[in-house]
Amino acid sequence: MWHGRTPASKADAYVDYLKVSGVRELQATPGNRGVFVLRRVGPREADFLVISLWDSMEAIREFAGEDLEKARYFDEDREFLLEFERFVTHYDVPVAPAEL
């Protein structure tokens, strides 16, 4: 799970950018079982939460590299994000819908 913030005025453009950058790469990585992008737009800022589901920690490593806790960014992120959180958070999923 990763969190980011943009100016509210860039929220829609950031969704479009995510679809062709991080989300596309997440989905293309073997072992990825799905990606959710959650957004909450306020008067000044928009919060984003990206949740990706994986078969294993090894599958995550294919996307993230050896340091699984370190957030991965793309060059154009600088045009949107207000800050760069250093880390992502990993959770086990003990209960999920059967489709996942």
Q: Residue 76 in contact with residue 21, Cβ under 8 Å?
A: yes
pLDDT tens per residue, range 24-72: 999 999 999 999 999 999 999 999 999 999 999 999 999 999 999 999 9
- Domains in the chain, ordered, with CATH? 2-79 (3.30.70.100)
For residue 90, how far is the Cα from the chain centroid?
12
pTM given for the model = 0.91
C-alpha distances out from residue 26 to 20, 34, 100, Å: 10, 8, 16
pLDDT tens-digit profile of 34-46?
Answer: 999 999 999 999 9
Question: 53 and 11 in contact (C-beta within 8 Å)?
Answer: no
